[in-house]
Amino acid sequence: MSVDASKLAERAPVTPEQIERAARALSEGRAVVLPTDTVYGVFVRADRVGELHKLRPDGPVPGTWHAASADVVIERLNIRTPVHLHLLRTLTPGPVRFLVEPVARTMREVSAAHPLIPKLMERDDAEPIWSVRVPDHDACRRVLDRVDAPVVADRVAGLSGMGDGITLPSDAQRAAAGLGIAEVIDAGPTRYQTGSTTVRLTRDGWWKFEGAGAISEGQVRARVETSVLFVCTGNTCRSPMAEAVARHLLAKPGVTMKPTRVSSAGVSAFDGDPMTPEAGEALGGLGIKPGPSPHRATHLTRAMVEGADVIFAMTKGHAQRVLEVAPGAKDKIVLLDPSGRDIPDPIGGTLADYRNAAQAIAKFVEQRLSERGLILPPQRKGILETW
């Protein structure tokens, strides 16, 4: 969301004395008003959440935990899943609220190590869940970092005399005192001037986009997902086989390290052509289904090249054609075979040729995805032996 430059110029400097006063008030169990990158909030210690309920006696208070850093969230919630770690470290600090679904073991460990953390739990469809964010506002994080206990917040919008939550009125300190709020830090208009985007970290180690706020679903995915593109000639055998292998690997529980989008295209493809029957049979021999819907060939475009983070070409000729389509893509093009050799085209050959190609492609895809930290490294047995 764009913000008027003149409003940004109005941001007031926050002094060290203000930071210390606000942190001291929170540590003593009193409420304070702090700016975030999205909206202003009323902050209290987790064990003083009743203060928020006093301010809003007519309705429930979300009470989202606001942490000073991703490391604090990871340590206190005992987050271990690679995808969850990646999202937290990529999207924080920032305008994203995370709904964290805990497993029973994690809840027991967290409760034992940090007794106040269970007080942060909300109910989501009758299931316990943590709501947490790391605001991208220096003054806010500096205050939070000085408070030993976890701190929760509710937006100030709707509180008498406290404005719209994007800016504070000139008499905000007086209005806050009338509400029993100890300190107010006014840093000018908030950056995004709207609420947070919501992302769910699911119990099975994956994630879901829950709702747009300051940033869109597309912006979230662009930041957290790696886009992998496989390229061959007609997009009917080699590159769709590589795409299917990659999808198979990335779908394995506990193997995926980062959310990844996979696609394939051909430098001379006719849009809509099906995968060759032999390619499908060769994949079946490896225990892989081509996909949820029948494959249809796609001709390589400049937009596809520019939208990919890494492009795996089957041959040196394919890599050159990709460069002709998008000359600036040199740094993202890699031959699928790490040795630099071309992968022979099985088109028109025997089923044995397709099976040989599929086995080579499977080995190289696993190696390449592992090299880029997208899946766990192969263990003692390679991918072909484990299928």
Burial of 134 (0-12, 13-18, 19+ CB in 10 A): buried
- Annotated catalytic residue within 30, 48, 76, 238: 238
Is 124 an active-site residue? no
What DSSP character marks residue 186?
A: -
- Nearest partner of 102 among 116, 87, 123, 72, judged by Cα: 123
Segment 20-48, tens digit of pLDDT: 999 999 999 999 999 999 999 999 998 88
Is 203 an active-site residue? no
Identify residue 237 by its one-letter amino acid code. Answer: C
What's the chain's average pLDDT? 89
Confirm if 251 and 217 have CB atoms less than 8 A apart.
Answer: no
Tell the CATH topology of 225-386: Rossmann fold (3.40.50)
Angle at 91 between CA 85 and CA 96, to 5 degrees: 115
- Annotated catalytic residue within 24, 345, 353, 372: 345
Tell the CATH topology of 5-222: DHBP synthase (3.90.870)
Identify residue 124 by its one-letter amino acid code. Answer: D
Distance CA 71, CA 6 (A): 35
- Annotated catalytic residue within 232, 237, 247, 355: 232
Instruction: Please state whether 163 falls in left (phi above 0), alpha (psi between -120 and 50) or beta.
Output: left
Distance CA 13, CA 246 (A): 50
Is 238 an active-site residue? yes
| Residue of 119 and 93 predicted with greater confidence | 93
Please name the residues in contact with 343: beta carbons below 8 A apart, sequence gap of 6 or more.
238, 314, 315, 336, 337, 357, 360, 361, 364
Same-fold call for 5-222 versus 225-386: no
Distance CA 141, CA 72 (A): 12
What percent of the chain is modeled with pLDDT above 90?
Answer: 73
pLDDT-derived band at 63 (thresholds 50, 70, 90) equals confident
Q: Where are the domains of the chain?
A: 5-222, 225-386
What DSSP character marks residue 266?
A: E
Mean pLDDT comparison of 163-177, 247-261, 283-297, 370-384, highest-scoring range: 163-177
Segment 102-123, tens digit of pLDDT: 876 666 776 666 666 665 666 5
Neighbours of 161 (CB within 10 A): 15
Taking the model in full, what pTM does it have? 0.84
